Amino acid sequence: MKNQTLSAIAILLLMTSICGAELNEPDNSFGTKGIAEAIWTPTKSLNNGKIVLQNDGKIVQVGSNRSGSTTYGSDIIIARYTSSGVLDTSFDGDGKVTTDFFSSEPQYSDETAGAIAIQTDGKIIVGGTTRTDPNVRDNSGFDWTWWNCALVRYNKDGSLDTSFSTDGKVEINANIGSADGIFDIVLQPDGKIIAAGYYMVGYNNRFLIMRFNVDGRLDTTFGNSGYVREHFTENTLETASAVAIQDDGNIVVAGYGQGADGRHKISILRLTSSGALDTTFSNDGKLVMLSGHHSRGSDVVIDANGKIIVGGWTSGVSTSPNDREFLLIRFNSNGSLDTTFDIDGCVSTVFAGLTSSVSGIALQIDGKIIAYGSGRSSDYNYDLEIARYNTDGSLDTTFDSGDGKITANLSQYDYSANVVLQRDNKILVSAGRQSDDNSYAMLAVLRYGSMDISDAIYALKVVVGITPEKLGTATDINNDRKIGLIEGIYLLQTIEEQLE
């Protein structure tokens, strides 16, 4: 009992020090006032992508930046930050890397990237698109056949890994004569790379899933010579936005499609590890559903119970058909809606602005769900938005100011790509912004607060091995939303009583 009590005291002291930041404010111990920045100049436009955490706590962020004077011509950009939120100078000297697929950039050449993963050896894999041919045009002056799938692998120091397709870069046209691209990647336990995105048939998008060996070559044992190309008969336009791997090796892909009626719908498929449709999921391996007037899927995660959670946006549920709101849907493993999640399996959340959209979702160790994205106000400003949900789909009122939602503003145009939870439950948000005069663009990582009251209590339960039933529900006694001396005395007294 003594050792358990000492452990509880130790973690309580730790939580007292780290729970002081309000959750609606950035963590001032990180970067500059809670924000880590990587600036590119000059710029014409910037797209921020996802962030990932290395095992050593460093943060890697990917995006793309167009710096030239032409309409096209963007490059892949990567920034790496230390755990304290400053650029890591051991990464290419200044913490930043710019990658161009071609030594002399054609006028209409582009590289974009929004997907990123870290191998077990610390190497960094980035997925996106590249466009190479400036000479071919359709009647509108634009040729979709330029776009190809792109993968890049970097060594830990930011240099290109020449053991990956000889020069560190892979360019693949998944459907000859059409456009295609990668929107998400995930690594299998054996190091093989699953990439999800789209390919085009005429002017219609289709789901595309590929698997690559660790050296960058297509894995021809997967699907049809390394490719899975799927079409949902209910849709005319469709794109795979996100991919996740289940514990059994099956692959879940989520995205959206547009039907003949013009309405956007959530589209999901599940593949076996060999790339075949898994017919134990929704009978044929594919599922299309509509929530509200329109709905799209942007991200997918698998929870500890094997349930599938898809995040995106919907319209016409609590707002008008023209306005968007956060959407979360939870499915059972067989593809049926999980009716223990807000009764019908679907949760929509309205923020103060006109349109809100989930860019991605993350799971806490206690099963709570973090959803993040961006929203537009009536004056066309874009803000970052975060919400936290309990495991039953209700908003977690212990998060932020009591309504379970956070809105943050960096500039006129703020976009969120994803969020990552640190081991201490601090929230890292990938963001990007551009100066009004286009003189610079900035990749940014925001870190919010830390464990709040409910998180801290959960950690204490884990440390001392007390079940929730024994400890009960502690309260924020002085209503300051912090773990302080008063709450500490109460928690320790309760723990001591339960351990006797």
What pLDDT score was predicted for residue 432?
72
Tens digit of pLDDT for each residue in 277-312? 999 999 999 999 887 778 889 999 999 999 999 999
pLDDT grade for 470, boundaries at 50, 70 and 90:
very low
pLDDT at 401: 65
Residue 98 has pLDDT above 70, yes or no: yes
pLDDT of residue 162: 96
Q: How many CB atoms lie within 10 A of CB 93?
A: 10
**Mean pLDDT across the stretch 346-358?**
83
For residues 422, 424, 429 and 430, what is the CA-based torsion angle, rounded to 10 degrees? -20
* CA neighbor of 372 nearest in space, from 320, 322, 301: 301
Task: Please give the pLDDT value at position 50.
Answer: 86
The pLDDT value given to residue 380: 64
Distance CA 54, CA 91 (A): 13
Q: In the prediction, which pLDDT does 29 show? A: 86
Task: Give the pLDDT confidence score for residue 1 in this predicted structure.
Answer: 46
Give CA–CA dist 33/13, Å, rounded.
24
Find the mean pLDDT for residues 32-42.
Answer: 83
- The pLDDT of residue 45 is 63
What share of the chain has pLDDT > 90, as a percent?
41
Over 80: is that where the pLDDT of 329 sits?
yes
Whole-number pLDDT of residue 24:
52
Mean pLDDT score, 92-112? 77
96-110, 395-409, 458-472: least confident range: 458-472
pLDDT over 70, % of the chain: 70
User: So what's the pLDDT on residue 408?
Assistant: 72
- The domain made up of 36-452 has a fold known as Neuraminidase (2.120.10)
Pairwise CA distance, residues 119 & 126, whole Å = 11
Name the nearest CA neighbour of 412 among 445, 381, 372, 375.
381
pLDDT of res. 107:
53
- Per-residue tokens: 425: 């439950």
Please list the residues that pair with 413 across neighbouring strands. 382
Q: Give residue 406's pLDDT.
A: 81
- Considering 128-142, 231-245, 325-339, 383-397, the range whose residues carry the highest mean pLDDT is 325-339
Indicate the pTM of the whole model.
Answer: 0.82
Q: Picking from 92-106, 174-188, 191-205, 357-371, which range would have the lowest pLDDT averaged per residue?
A: 92-106
* pLDDT value of position 449: 66
Read off the pLDDT band of 341 (50, 70, 90).
very high
Q: What is the pLDDT of residue 211?
A: 98
Q: Domains of the chain: which residue ranges?
A: 36-452, 453-500
CA–CA dist 181, 149 (Å, integer): 4
The CA distances from residue 262 to 144, 237, 290, 356, 457, in Å, are 22, 9, 12, 20, 48
At residue 92 the predicted structure's pLDDT band, cuts being 50, 70 and 90, is very high
Q: Is the pLDDT of residue 87 over 80?
A: yes
Token pair for 302: 């698998």
Q: What rounded mean pLDDT belongs to the chain? A: 79
Q: Give 109's contacts (C-beta < 8 A, 6+ positions apart).
A: 72, 73, 101, 102, 130, 131, 132, 134
What are phi and psi for residue 372, nearest 5 degrees? Answer: -140, 155
Which of 35-49, 210-224, 401-415 tops mean pLDDT?
Answer: 210-224
* Average pLDDT of the residues in 50-77: 82
